[in-house]
């Protein structure tokens, strides 16, 4: 069956925010955990990306009492950099073309819902559904099932597009097609998740698949 709907991760997939986020995470984690170098903290942030930051901290430092404060500082600090980004022309062209071809196109992010809504509204790019994080409703199964129910889709009709290894794992766990955008991770990284994972280097390549 052909893809009827494309669901896109946001950070690192639709906007180039992951580098800045990794810098903030590296600095903040190192401040609270000086035994972890900035470089290592930054790398560990990227390795665990694809889930909310407070969950990343629990993966890195299970049960650590400083996790809540680190997450608070990170979320407050990242906002300026987040809103300094915009959709590149390739993204605007790809999203608009997919919708013009009759595809359902949505956003699936672990950024807070109000941040994603504000960003998308400011940019003026139309999506059929925009999903962000709220308690009990996050990127992955929650978002996938919501979209499939809302648009009466089967698993085979929904393709998830993301830039992280966690994105690939979420798609595979939920029996969805996945396309990895190289940047945060490279083709060989995705292939370690599964040898047959499809990867692209520019979002425009989706139009040629």
CB 105 within 8 A of CB 160: no
Q: Residue 159: is it exposed, middle or buried by C-beta count within 10 angstroms (0-12/13-18/19+)? A: buried
Q: What is the pLDDT of residue 1?
A: 54
Per the structure block, which two tokens stand in for 144?
A: 């996938």
Beta bridge partners, 178, equal: 160
CA distance 194 to 177: 12
In degrees and rounded to multiples of 5, residue 95 shows phi and psi of -60, -45
Q: pTM, whole model, 2 decimals?
A: 0.86
71-103 confidence digits (pLDDT tens):
999 999 998 888 989 999 999 999 999 999 999
For the chain, the C-alpha Rg in angstroms (whole number) is 17
């Amino acid at each position: 069956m052909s893809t009827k709907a494309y669901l896109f991760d946001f950070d690192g997939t639709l906007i180039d925010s992951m580098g800045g986020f990794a810098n903030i995470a590296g600095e903040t984690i190192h401040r609270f955990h000086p035994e972890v170098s900035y470089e290592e903290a930054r790398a560990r942030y990227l390795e665990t990306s694809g889930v909310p930051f407070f969950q990343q901290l629990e993966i890195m430092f299970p049960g650590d009492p400083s996790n809540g404060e680190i997450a608070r500082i990170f979320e407050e600090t990242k906002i300026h950099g987040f809103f300094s980004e915009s959709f590149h022309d390739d993204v605007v062209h790809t999203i608009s073309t997919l919708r013009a071809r009759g595809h359902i196109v949505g956003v699936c992010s672990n950024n807070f819902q109000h941040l994603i809504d504000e960003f998308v509204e400011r940019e003026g790019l139309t999506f059929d559904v925009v999903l962000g994080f709220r308690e009990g409703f996050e990127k992955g199964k929650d978002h996938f099932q919501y979209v499939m129910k809302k648009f009466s889709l089967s698993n085979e009709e929904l393709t998830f597009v993301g830039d992280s290894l966690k994105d690939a794992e979420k798609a595979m766990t939920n029996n969805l097609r996945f396309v990895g955008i190289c940047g945060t991770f490279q083709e060989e990284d995705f292939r370690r998740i599964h040898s047959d994972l499809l990867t692209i280097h520019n979002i425009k390549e989706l139009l040629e698949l």
